[in-house]
Every structure is written in C-alpha cells, then in structure tokens.
Structure 1
Amino acid sequence: MLDDVDEGPRSAHREQVYETFADRSVGPETAIQRALAVGVERFDVDVGLFTRVSDGVRCILEAAGGRGFEAGDTCPLERSYCRNTVDASGSLCVESAADAGSIPRAAYEDLGFETYAGCKLVVDGAVFGTICFLGERERDRPFSEAEELFVELVARLASQALERRSYENRLRRRTEQVLEEKRRLEGVTQTTFDLIYRIDSATEFTYVSPAASQLIGYDPEELLGRSFAEFLTPASTQVAMEAFQSVFAGEPVEQVEVEFTGGDGEVVVLEANVRPVYDDDDEEVVEAQGVARDVTTRRQQDRELRVRNRALADAQFGIAIADATRPDYPIVDVNDAFQRLTGYPESEVVGESWLFLRGEETDPSALTTLYEAVKAGEPETVQLLGYRRDETPFWVRASVSPVTDDAGAVSHIIGFVEDVTERTRTERLVQLLNRVLRHNLRNDMNVLVGYGALLDEPAAQQPPDIGRVVQSTAADLVALSEKARELERYARRERTPTRLDPAELFARALEPHLPAHPEAVVDVVVETDRDVCAGAELARALEELVDNALEHDPDPDTRVSVTARDDGDAIEITVADDGPGLPEMEAAIVEAGRETPLEHGDGLGLWLVNWVVTRYGGSFQIRASDSDEGSGTVATLRLPAVGTEQRVEDVARRPTTLFR
C-alpha cells in the first residue's frame, strides 16, 4: 500500500530506512538513530526521538536534530507529547499542537512544538516506548497517508530490531548457561559422592557418574543401556515411573525416594532430584537428568523421629524445647498441648526465653531453682504460678531435663509443663476451710463457754437473752459446718462446662427465697441473647448472693436487682441490693482470694461464689454500692459467653488460681 501512495523522491526515504535496519553490523540504537535522521529530513522537522516509557516516565534513548535533546533526558509521561501515542492503535500525527486535544497542554506549554508525528514501539508484546518527530512550525497541510505509514514503518522496524536483539540476548545467555552447566557438571560428576545420571525416553541409563560404584555397588558401565526399573523394588517402581513421566512432560521432580537394589543385593534408599533435558530447539524433552543420594540412614532416623514427635504431639502435658547453647535459653519448639495450655501460638513462643510464663506474683525462688538446675545440667521440678497469654494466672508443675550432645555438653533443655491449678485450688480450699472452721469454732465456742458459765449464776443475774444467744451461736456453727461440707463437695465434683440460660439461672436462684420475703422488690433484667458458659453449680452461687441480699437486710421491703449484660466475649452478672452492705474487710478478703492470720471472713458463702466463678475462668468482685443512699452491696460476676452458633468447648476457659 505504501508503494501506491509514497511516490516520487520521498520514496527514497523509505528505502533508506529499510537499508538502515537491514544492516546487521550495527545495533538497534544506531539503526534507530539513522532512521530518526531520515525521518527528520522526510518531514522537514526539527527533532526525531526514540524514547522508553516505563512507570509513567518518558526517557529519551536517542535523538536526532536540534533543540538540545539528549539521551537520558526524562519527564513525566503526562507532560510528554507521547502521552496519547502509547494508547493509539497506529500513528498519531498532529499539524497544529496548539489546537489539538491529543497533545497534553502541559507538554505544549513546556516545549512549544506545533508539529508532531509519532508511533509506539511494541517489544515482546508490551509497549516499550515511542518513535516521534517534532517541528516548531505549524504544517500548512494535513499529514498524508504515506507520511503516517512512514512513521509506522520506522516504529515497526525499530520494534523488530529490539525484539531480535532481546531474543539473541536470551539465546546467548541460555547458551552460556548450558556451557557453564556442562563444565560444572563435568567437574562435579568426577568428585561428588552423589550419583549423577541421565535417562532417555526408553527409561535406559545413558550416563552414570563414577559414584555409582561406591553408592550402589555397580560400575557405571554395568548400568548403561539398562532400564532403571530393573533395579527398583516393586514398591518403588510405580513411584519412579510416575516421576519419570512427569519429567518427560516438562515438570521437574524433587526429593522423590526410591528403593534401589544394589550390587550386593542390599536395598539402598535413594533420594532423587530430576529435571528435563530439551533438544536444541528447546521444544521436546529428550532425556531426564538427575542426582541421587543415599538416604537409607536418614530414612530410619526420620522414622524414629516421627514416632518420637508423634508421642510429643499427643502428650497431654505441655512440652517446650529450649536451646541451651544460647543466652536466655530461647525456645525452639513446643507441642500442641503447650499451646493449648498457655494460649500462646507457636509463632509467638519460638525465640522467647524459656521463663516467659512468669508474672508479677511468680515466686522468684522457684525460678532460681530451675535456672540453677539448668546451669548445672541437672533435672528439677517445682510448682509455681505462671501466666497465660490472656494474663490469667494458673498453677504450673514445671520440670526441666537437660539433653547432652555427643561431647557430653548440654545442648538442649526439655521443659514439661503441667496445669495443676484444679488440684492446687482444691488443696488450698481444704486449707482455707480448716482455717475458717478453726477460727469461727474457737470464737463461737468461747461464746458458748462464757454463756454456759452464766447458767451457774442465779437466774436474776443471768442476761435475759442467754438462751437466744446460745441457740443462735449453735445454729451459726451448724450452718458453717454445713456450708463447709457443701463447698468441699463442689470442689471435689468434676468440672463440667455447659450452656446456661441467664433467665433460667435467675429463676432457680430466686425461687427458694421469694416466698419468705413477699414485701421484697426484685428486678430481673436480661440484656443478652447469649448463654453463660459455666457449670450447673453456678445457680447455687447466684442463690447464695440472693440469700445474702434478702436474708441479711432487716428492712422487709428490701430491693434487689439481678442483671445479665453482654461484656465483650463475656456476660456480666450483677446482684445488687440496698441493704446494710458487706463489711469492708469481708469484701477485701474475697476479692484478694486469700485470708491472713489477722484477717478472716465470717462465712463461707462468698467463698463458694468465688470458687464456682473462678473455676470456669471467670472473675468475682463485691463492693459497696455507690448509690445516693450510701448503702447496699453490688456483687459482679464475669463469665465466658457462648453464642447460639458457638460450641461450649470453643469458649470454655480453664480455672484461674483463686488462692495464691
């Protein structure tokens, strides 16, 4: 088509461009430089440019003509005459840039060229840059079809030259890689202890390295021309054939294990990496080339290690392994039980100090005992207070055992972590019951002895309420004994988290007491659609709080509110009253979770509440009301919540320590 349009002397320019790019003695840049000069003459313009467009930037690679353009000059593509050229399907030619919408206004203001003719370069299917010609004078006539085709011709020939060089560079690099690989392989095959081999499409060995003699008991010549399948055990034949087919389909195979029957009849386990070898046209796989090593011993060790690892993974107690050769003994591995026990995922544990479970109330002497044992390379066991990831404390039975290397030096420390919170809670509860019983029994018996002595006095000298006091004190002792037995019974009962409806809990807690207090006002508010995750004994704990609110208020029209509300992943239950309030020391003892020789609770009801709530991972607080009347008590229970779509086992929490 160009021959039909581009007639006369201007056709010589086209021939010059063809000749320029036909000269293979020069590179693409030189050919493009010459073609730009021809185009400048052809269009009678000032500048011809060869540009690279990348990441929104236009960079000049070659320039012909004046105006001071140099290779390396850059500008944003948005401020370049080439902005719309890269999106055009053919050439973009403009006679008057001042009036053309296809030329960015910013580019025109920067450079002031009136005439523009350009076309994009496409290399390997992607836009590479542009060829363009720019003139200061406005053209007095539109660009002809021949002129537009000339620009496209230069761009097409430049693209082909760049693609040809790209292909030649790839081919040269590949040839160099093949030659280097060949030299490296020749050197490696003579010295390596691994078996290097090649197999053709008929599964026969075409090359076997000298290592075959030592590795599998065959001289290389004994294997050449024979199928590898002859030497495999039946169990490995199918695996090897599948790998062979994958390689000849163009897919490399790594770390495939096969059992090879050696020259002495013994089975050698080989681990092989195999890749395809292509013909000269890089189209067809003609051979498979691989390297194999003896992993017989490793397989046996791996089998033994899997057994040990399986045992560790299935263990019900936590196991952590620490590196004893580095400062602070960082953890290098933990089992699943350790992660469940502490709440820490493996990713947050590895690299941490083996003592990272410690907290503000952890006994430092227990840590010192463990640390000294580790330094001495001796086993040791202690019980201490640890902290889970959510900062809840728990009782831990921690044991350390050193592992020595072949030289006898301690290389690793194995730590065993067992959660003994439940057992320790029970033991310390029994201790608490004994203390409270001894304390209250001694006080009440002193009262009974004192009033008993008054019975020997004349009736006129006896206090008028002596009988009532004796009966009341005796009744308190009986009630305390029964409460102690109840608390111990709950402590020894199996811990069973379940789903409890708050409304039903409240109904069970109120039912025993409301008939005896007809004038009391009880408000029940349930502002949650979720259930409480706890044991059935929680109803008894709530009943105890309701009993405290109703029975201990001398005013018959006492007011009690029982409320359940959502609080994040928990449900907050409050039992509030307007009674005389709980003694400050009693509240402090229950909240602290322990008594002292000088501070003792008067009863065990609140201990029962605290025991039940903390047994299911909750918290219990009791305080004076902050109402305007200035009296009353507010008891707050916070327990895990379980939604309709959740499972109890997914939200259930372990017991907290309670007694420390």
Structure 2
Amino acid sequence: MDATSPRERLYAVFADADLDVEEKIDRALDVGADHLDLPIGFVSRIEDGTQRIAHATGEHDRVQPGETCPLRESYCRHTLESEGLLAVQEAAVSPIDQRAIDAFGLGAYIGAKVVVDGEVYGTVCFASREPRDAAFSESEELFLELLASLVGNALERRAYERDLKERTERLEREKRRFEGIAETSFDILFRVGLDARFTYVSAAVERILGYQPEALTGEYFTEFMTEEAAEDAATAYDRLLAGESVENLELDFRARDGDIVVIAVNATPIDDGGTITGIQGVGRDVTARKERERELRVKNRAMDEADVGISIADPDEPDTPLVYVNDGFERITGYDAEEVIGRNCRFLQGERTDDASVERIGDAIDAEESAVVELVNYRRDGTPFWNRLRVNPVYDERGDLSHYLGFQDDVTERKRTERLIALLNRVLRHNLRNDMTLFLAWGSGLRHGDVEDPRETGERIERAARELSALGEHARELEQYARRDRDPQRLDPRALCEAVRETHRERFPNGDVEVHVAAERDICAGAELREALAELVANGLKHDPSDAPQVSVSVFDAGDWVELVVSDDGPGIDSVEAEVIATGEETALMHGSGLGLWLVNWIVTRYGGSFQIAADDGGGTTATVRLPAIGAGEAVADAERGPTVLFF
C-alpha cells in the first residue's frame, strides 16, 4: 500500500491533530468521493424518524448540511434495514423506494451505518445522479466500512471529550463553590483522597480543633481521633469507597490542646463519571450538645427513678394531653406510659374524686397558675388512693406557656393515719361521753340509795369499764399498726387459719372454728393479718348466744385475689356498723361505735385489699376479706399492692 492510497489518506485525515472533528469528516468525504468516483457524499444523523444531513460534499440541493426529510423517503432507510452496507448500481432496479428516487433522483448509491457508543448514529453515503456501469467492488465496500468506522470513532471521541470537559468544568466549579462555602462555614468542610489522607480542610478546623488547615492536609484522617473513633471512621471510609453515604457519624477528635471534641460527620463519595475519586463531607462540633444530652439523661434518669410521679402535659394540643410520664407515675397509678400518652389525666378520676378539687386544678390551668390539691384518684385496677397533686406551668424562652408539669405523690398512708386518728378521737369521745353519763347516773343512784339492786349496778359499772378498757386497747393497737411500716410477705392461708383457731381454743373452750381452705395460692399481706382474722373470729364466737358457738373460715381463689370468708350464727351485725364499713364513709349521723372492725379494715386495706361485712337474711354475719394472691414462683415485689383509701 503506497503512501497516497485512499485508505492511507483516510488515516492521515483522522490522525491530524490540527483538525477538529467537523473538518476531519468533511475531508474524509472528499477522499471518499474521489476514490469511489461518486460526486455526492454525505453523513446523515437519524433521529425520531427524520434524516438530517450533518456533512456533505458535491452539488445536490437536497444533500446539503441542515437539510431534512422523513426517513421513509430517504435512501438511508434501506441502509439502516440492511445487514451490512447497501450498494446499489442502478436505483431504478433496486429495493430503493420510488418515493426516495423521486425525491433525490440518485441513480447509484452506496451507504453504511455509523455507530457511536453502540447505537446507530446515522449513515455515511456516496451517490451519483447516473447509474454506475459496474457494480461496487469488494475493495470499495471495505473502504466505505473503514470510513464509517473512522467517522463513528471520531464522533464517539468528540462526545467523550465534551463530557470529560463538562465534568472537569463542573468539578472545578463545584470545588470552587465547596471551598468558597467552606471558608465561611461554621462547620468543618473536608475532602479525603483514595489514600485516606486529607486533601482539603476548611478554616473552621482552627476554631474547633485548634489546628491550621495546612497541618491536616496530607495527613491520615485517623491521626487526629481517639483509637475507638479511628476504628469507626475507618469502617465508614470503606463504606464510602463502596458508594454509600455516611450520616451523623459522631467521632471523638483530639484537639490541639488535648481536649476531646465530638464531631458529627456527614460524608458522600466523590463520583467522577461512575468512578469514585475520594470523599467529601462536613463535620459539626456537637460537644456542647452531647454534654447537654448527657445532663438531660441524668435528669431523665433522676425523674424516672423519683418516688413521686412526674407528668408533662401539652396545653397547645386539644384537651391538654400527657406527653411524658415517669416510672414513678407508672408505679403509683398502675398505668404504662403507652396507655396514657396522648390522653388527658382525668382518667385517674372516679366516683369519689372531689369535684371542688378538680375544679380548682382546672381554674389554675386556665389562669396559668400553680396549684396543689389532695384528692382521691383511682389506679388502673380500680383501687382508690390519695393523690397529692401539684401542677405548675412551664414557660419557654419567649415567656410563652409551653407545658404543664405535674407531680403525683401517693399520700394514702398519711391520709389513712390522719383519718384513723380522727376516728380514734371521735369514737373514744363518743363512747367515753356515753359511758361517763352512765357512770354519773349509776353513781348518783348508789349515793342516794335510788337503785333497787346495788350489786347489779356494780356489775354494770364493771362491765362498762371493761368495755371502755377494751376500746382503749383497740385504740392502742390501731395506733401501733399506724406507726408500723408496711411489710408485705407471703402468708400460707392454711397455717394462718390454723394459728387463729388455736388462739381461740382457750378463750372459747366450747366454741368451734371450722376451717376450709380451697385456695391454691398464698396471700400477699403483712403478718398483722393474723390479728385481723382473729378479731373477726372472736366477734363471731363472742356474739353467738348459744352454749356452743360456731364460726367457719373459708379461703378461696378469686382471680387475682384470695378471699377469706368468716361466717357465724350470731344475731347479725348492726346495720349502721355494716353500712359504715361497706361505704367506707362516716358522717355525724352515722358512725361506728367500736374499733374492732376498723382494726380489720385498717390492716386489710393497708395491703391493697378490701373488707365487707353484712348480716345474713337467716341470721348470723358474714365478713369477706379480699387480699392480693401470690403464686408459687411469684416474687412479693410483683404481687404486692399499695394501700387503698381507708375511708372517705
């Protein structure tokens, strides 16, 4: 092949670095037209069913740069449909569509597809108005295929160079923008190369860590972290190089003065046309925030571990719902946080909740004032308790009301003691006043000789004195129990009942105490429950007028409870006494005259139980004590219940 052969001329054209792609294609068309002896040559661009002439050589009105026509009316359509190139010696007797012949009037034609990046770009073609005398040779066809390949490569290279230039310009603009923002940013902006060294660090690093940016540039990023943080950072770096992003990664850096500074890092890979060339990101100093979070955790832990209940309500939401309750609130009320968040705290109110106290709290909330009330609330299981409720408004930094802070303090024990002391004083005054009136009357009768039987009167005085003494002893016992700490424990109901039965054999030798234990679980209460049960049994034996009094004690399982039922055949309890116990309420016109039943009630309700007593229709009295049950493998702490209201 000599130096002036058509193929060599094509190579020389496309190898000329001084020519741009447009000039190379134009010159290549001239070389092709000369070699093939066809005066018309062109490169077409095929898009959306349209042929557009991109380059052309020769004289033809319809074959000039910028001319377009429907693809169906062009010779190129058949080129695109051919397996290889299309060579037509005489168009009139070829597969070329007559519409194309009419439109362009070309007699001879040869064309090949131009492929760019694996897609058909268009065609490169040569033609003449007159048919050719001879068919195209194999050498001419190979020449055209070479030309189509060179044109495709040139267009592909141009597209690549344009993309590369645009990416480079874009990266440069991004770099300038990044660094411009970085130098004025409050946070640290950085870049790290594929060798894990800083390639750029913004000026903010001096304020945050005390280093000049130049001191970090070129250094491994892990050199400025604690050992643990360096391990986390290296793991994140591998993820970034794999194409992932990293968000809010908190790392401990060592500042120049040795202090630890916590920096939250957000980073992304630098993607250059599908190739990761490094990473870039931003680091924010969150040391102060972490310290505030630590302090907040301490405060939250203190709030959660506080004995009192703490709740926070949002006045900006409809019905002022709770948005937070602590563990103390859960312990006091029996409600889990998930059950109460989003609800107004009035769910703690019930039948015995004082309306005036509720109204006072409502007025304070409306007036954005603090208030303290003591009122009866109800636990999740329905048991009442005395709640000392304190409500305080909380204001934000602008002075606007943001929340209400509530403190719930279970003061049931104190209220029980206060009411017990009031009960003792009331009953003792009442009975002492009545008995002293009798003593005065009996004494006056004896002194003036107005009694028929002094001996009987003396016995009355002795009996009244013994009853008054017994009343005082009951009052002393109740006071002792009030001062004694609660001590819930596991009590065997059978052993409990047998111990009470043995206690009364000497006092009531003719009496009979029948015990029936059907419960399979133990009782969770204090040891003083034995005194309460003994009081009920003694009452039944004492008030039975028969020579052989009988009392039965039965123990049953009742759901989460164990019931002790004490029945006797006596005359039946006084309706006033029973009503006071049943309602848990005393009034000036209705109150109990004795303390024995209050002793029972005090002990039972102290351990979360309940006590009811009533006269039977056929005679006798039935007392029912209900206390928490405790299973064989259950801990006392899980089974015990708090004290309930003694009376209202």
Same fold (TM over 0.5): yes
Aligned equivalent of 1:334: 325
Aligned equivalent of 1:651: 639
Question: Is contact 1:508–1:543 with CA below 8 Å preserved after alignment?
Answer: no
Aligned equivalent of 1:637: 625
CA RMSD in angstroms, aligned pairs only? 3.5
1:568 aligns with 2:559: yes
d(CA) in 1 for partners of 2:173, 2:487: 68
Question: Is contact 1:328–1:354 with CA below 8 Å preserved after alignment?
Answer: no
- 1:404-553 map, 5 Å: 404-458=395-449, 461-462=452-453, 465-553=456-544
Displacement of 1:215: 7.0
Displacement of 1:501: 0.4
Q: Return 5+ residue gaps in structure 1 as ranges.
A: 1-24, 26-177
SS at match of 2:423: helix
Aligned equivalent of 1:299: 290
Deviations 1:134-180 (A, max 9, x none): xxxxxxxxxxxxxxxxxxxxxxxxxxxxxxxxxxxxxxxxxxxx9xx
Q: How many residues align?
A: 479
Displacement of 1:313: 2.1
SS at match of 1:495: coil
SS at match of 1:565: strand
Aligned equivalent of 1:203: 196
Aligned equivalent of 2:265: 272
Q: Are residues 571 and 247 of structure 1, via their aligned partners in 2, closer, same or farther at CA, if it must alter by over 3 Å?
A: farther
Aligned equivalent of 1:240: 233
Identify the range of structure 1 (635-644 vs 347-356) with the bigger mean alpha-carbon deviation.
347-356
Aligned equivalent of 1:309: 300
- 1:587-598 map, 5 Å: 587-598=578-589
Displacement of 1:619: 0.5
Aligned equivalent of 2:221: 228
Question: Is contact 2:451–2:457 with CA below 8 Å preserved after alignment?
Answer: no
d(CA) in 2 for partners of 1:460, 1:389: 62
Displacement of 1:265: 9.1
AA aligned opposite 2:192: I
AA aligned opposite 1:270: I
Deviations 1:451-476 (A, max 9, x none): 11111343774476212211111111
Displacement of 1:579: 1.4
Aligned equivalent of 1:621: 612
d(CA) in 2 for partners of 1:476, 1:315: 47
SS at match of 1:588: helix
Displacement of 1:319: 0.9
AA aligned opposite 1:306: R
SS at match of 2:373: strand
AA aligned opposite 1:241: A
d(CA) in 2 for partners of 1:347, 1:451: 68
Aligned equivalent of 1:71: none
Identity %: 49
Deviations 1:313-355 (A, max 9, x none): 2222111112233343322111111111111111112122244
Q: Are residues 199 and 518 of structure 1, via their aligned partners in 2, closer, same or farther at CA, if it must alter by over 3 Å?
A: same
SS at match of 1:603: coil
Displacement of 1:478: 0.7
AA aligned opposite 2:646: L
d(CA) in 2 for partners of 1:210, 1:457: 114
SS at match of 1:455: helix
Aligned equivalent of 1:376: 367
AA aligned opposite 2:264: E
Deviations 1:82-138 (A, max 9, x none): xxxxxxxxxxxxxxxxxxxxxxxxxxxxxxxxxxxxxxxxxxxxxxxxxxxxxxxxx
Displacement of 1:570: 0.8
d(CA) in 2 for partners of 1:208, 1:619: 73
1:393 aligns with 2:381: no
SS at match of 2:626: strand
Q: Are residues 460 and 327 of structure 1, via their aligned partners in 2, closer, same or farther at CA, if it must alter by over 3 Å?
A: closer
Q: Are residues 558 and 241 of structure 1, via their aligned partners in 2, closer, same or farther at CA, if it must alter by over 3 Å?
A: same
Displacement of 1:210: 8.7
Displacement of 1:638: 0.6
Q: Are residues 538 and 248 of structure 1, via their aligned partners in 2, closer, same or farther at CA, if it must alter by over 3 Å?
A: farther
Question: Is contact 2:349–2:378 with CA below 8 Å preserved after alignment?
Answer: yes
Q: Are residues 266 and 533 of structure 1, via their aligned partners in 2, closer, same or farther at CA, if it must alter by over 3 Å?
A: closer
Deviations 1:614-650 (A, max 9, x none): 0000010111225xxx101110011001111000010
Give the TM-score normalised by structure 1: 0.66
d(CA) in 2 for partners of 1:520, 1:261: 86
Question: Is contact 1:203–1:227 with CA below 8 Å preserved after alignment?
Answer: yes
SS at match of 2:490: strand
AA aligned opposite 1:651: A
SS at match of 2:468: helix
d(CA) in 2 for partners of 1:231, 1:556: 97
SS at match of 1:539: helix
d(CA) in 1 for partners of 2:553, 2:621: 12
Identify the range of structure 1 (562-571 vs 380-389) with the bigger mean alpha-carbon deviation.
380-389
d(CA) in 1 for partners of 2:257, 2:499: 81
Aligned equivalent of 2:550: 559
Deviations 1:479-515 (A, max 9, x none): 1111111111111111100000001110121222223
Q: Are residues 223 and 610 of structure 1, via their aligned partners in 2, closer, same or farther at CA, if it must alter by over 3 Å?
A: same
Displacement of 1:229: 2.3
Q: Are residues 607 and 198 of structure 1, via their aligned partners in 2, closer, same or farther at CA, if it must alter by over 3 Å?
A: same
Deviations 1:262-321 (A, max 9, x none): 799986531124466789889xx8755544323233123223222322221222211111
Displacement of 1:200: 3.9
d(CA) in 2 for partners of 1:588, 1:652: 28
Question: Is contact 1:624–1:631 with CA below 8 Å preserved after alignment?
Answer: yes
Aligned equivalent of 1:108: none
Residue of 288, 301, 309 corresponding to 1:318: 309
Displacement of 1:605: 0.6
d(CA) in 1 for partners of 2:495, 2:450: 54
Q: Return 5+ residue gaps in structure 2 as ranges.
A: 1-47, 49-166
Q: Are residues 638 and 304 of structure 1, via their aligned partners in 2, closer, same or farther at CA, if it must alter by over 3 Å?
A: same
d(CA) in 2 for partners of 1:316, 1:186: 58
SS at match of 1:271: strand
Q: Are residues 185 and 557 of structure 1, via their aligned partners in 2, closer, same or farther at CA, if it must alter by over 3 Å?
A: farther
Displacement of 1:613: 0.4
Displacement of 1:600: 2.3
AA aligned opposite 1:272: V
d(CA) in 1 for partners of 2:604, 2:181: 71
* Structure having the higher Rg: 2
Q: Are residues 182 and 603 of structure 1, via their aligned partners in 2, closer, same or farther at CA, if it must alter by over 3 Å?
A: farther
Q: Are residues 286 and 622 of structure 1, via their aligned partners in 2, closer, same or farther at CA, if it must alter by over 3 Å?
A: farther
Q: Are residues 273 and 625 of structure 1, via their aligned partners in 2, closer, same or farther at CA, if it must alter by over 3 Å?
A: farther
1:255 aligns with 2:287: no
AA aligned opposite 1:576: S
Identify the range of structure 1 (432-441 vs 344-353) with the bigger mean alpha-carbon deviation.
344-353
Question: Is contact 1:517–1:556 with CA below 8 Å preserved after alignment?
Answer: no
SS at match of 1:533: strand
Identify the range of structure 1 (609-618 vs 556-565) with the bigger mean alpha-carbon deviation.
556-565
- 1:124-135 map, 5 Å: none
Q: Are residues 412 and 186 of structure 1, via their aligned partners in 2, closer, same or farther at CA, if it must alter by over 3 Å?
A: farther
d(CA) in 2 for partners of 1:187, 1:355: 61
Question: Is contact 1:454–1:462 with CA below 8 Å preserved after alignment?
Answer: no
